[in-house]
Structure 1
């Protein structure tokens, strides 16, 4: 009977230790202390009564103690794994948020330019067609327009609006500019020869893929003229992205 009582006491201690470990109430040292106390209790001299006394093997306690220590190590390891998993999840959430921010930034695309900076002047006439470089940049959200080349390069697929206006004061040469998509003609704006200031403008909505290039080209034997009024302009913006 006393051997059975010892087993029951040990099982009760086992349940208490496990519960405390799960609830975070006991540290590893406290669990070991609990186990040592049970060792001393079970190894203390026992008084046997005649009739129902029986020999209790200390190997049983050794096996249970080893199981408890293994359980403690497993719980500790799992807690460390959970902390590592939480850290990785936070890192992934941060990366995901950064990617979302980049995508949102890429959806904000707009530019507005004029032909010359500060001072007036004339562009042309030339013997061959040239790309018109609008060097005075009012707005370039998304940096899709390059003021060094005059080219707009689509950073993502979408529907884009483009508008341009040309002005000529010249009495001899007309003015013609054409909007090109990847070098292919889309539409023109024309000014015939006259003796006064003449304006012409045009606009278009285009579906662009990533990397498509939009440019304005000045025809041969044509001129553009501008002054501080910034009459020759080129602008565009993303209406909405497409999948």
Structure 2
């Protein structure tokens, strides 16, 4: 009966692996407990032979039982290794899904623009870049996988004199399309700021960045101009 118990133990473990992807390393102990708790006799079935009349443990089926045991154990271990490989692949896919970044324009600048064409704003002072989705060299955030993201920005300009004209316009771009904008064009004050928060669903490879519109400019303390974003949830 020891062979029967061992085979039952292996079959029980196989069923556990097939019904749960979260099997733990103590499954062998659990199979052993199940085998010890089994009571009763199993019929020899098609392995009936003469010796079954003298011995109740199906001695004539020992070879077949050993083959079944080896086959079942090897199959079980192959499944266990497949589960481990799947766990590794899952971890590799999810380990970089903590996405958040925050950046500001460099303090060394005291003005930016105007330009004859719209240009990407350089937020090169990085305070956070989890997941490395934001590229400070380009000023562009790229989605590494599809999901819903929250982005925010603050635009600030100080022309330095009450009689000078504040004339700026920045816009958030997603793959070349405007999704939000902030502008100022008046002579009423020498400085002004504005902020926006935008929630976007991005496909893998989508790019989000801030752009200064052609002919407009920013001045004053550039560090007040910020761009940030983070992952809300992935698909």
| Coarse TM-score class (shorter-chain normalised) | 0.5 to 0.7
* 1:111 corresponds to 2:101: yes
For residues 239 and 226 of structure 1, do their structure 2 counterparts lie closer, same or farther at Cα, with a shift above 3 Å needed? farther
Which of residues 211, 222, 229 is equivalent to 2:216?
222
CA RMSD in angstroms comes to: 2.9
1:182 alignment counterpart: 175
Number of residue pairs the alignment of both structures matches: 181
In 1, Cα distance between the equivalents of 2:147 and 2:116?
Answer: 36
- Stretch deviating more after TM superposition (188-197 or 125-134): 188-197
In 2, Cα distance between the equivalents of 1:78 and 1:158?
Answer: 48
In 1, Cα distance between the equivalents of 2:95 and 2:141?
Answer: 17
Q: TM-score, normalised by structure 1?
A: 0.63
- 1:162-241 mapped onto 2 (5 Å cutoff): 162-170=151-159, 171-172=164-165, 174-194=167-187, 196-225=190-219, 227=221, 230-241=223-234
In 1, Cα distance between the equivalents of 2:135 and 2:223?
Answer: 18
* 1:134 corresponds to 2:123: yes
- Stretch deviating more after TM superposition (169-178 or 123-132): 169-178
Unaligned runs of at least 5 residues, structure 2:
7-49, 52-57
8 A Cα contact 1:165 1:199, kept in partner: yes
Which of residues 77, 86, 98 is equivalent to 2:88?
98
2:66 alignment counterpart: 76
Instruction: Compute the displacement of 1:202 (Å).
Output: 1.8
8 A Cα contact 1:175 1:190, kept in partner: yes
In 1, Cα distance between the equivalents of 2:215 and 2:60?
Answer: 90
Question: Which deviations, in whole Å up to 9, do the C-alpha atoms of 1:119-169 show, x marking residues without a partner?
Answer: 343221211111112111111222221111111122233322211111112
Unaligned runs of at least 5 residues, structure 1:
1-18, 25-59, 62-67
In 1, Cα distance between the equivalents of 2:2 and 2:84?
Answer: 35
- Alignment partner of 1:89: what SS? helix
For residues 103 and 135 of structure 1, do their structure 2 counterparts lie closer, same or farther at Cα, with a shift above 3 Å needed? same
8 A Cα contact 1:165 1:234, kept in partner: yes
Q: TM-score, normalised by structure 2?
A: 0.65
For residues 151 and 239 of structure 1, do their structure 2 counterparts lie closer, same or farther at Cα, with a shift above 3 Å needed? same
In 2, Cα distance between the equivalents of 1:224 and 1:96?
Answer: 51
1:27 alignment counterpart: none
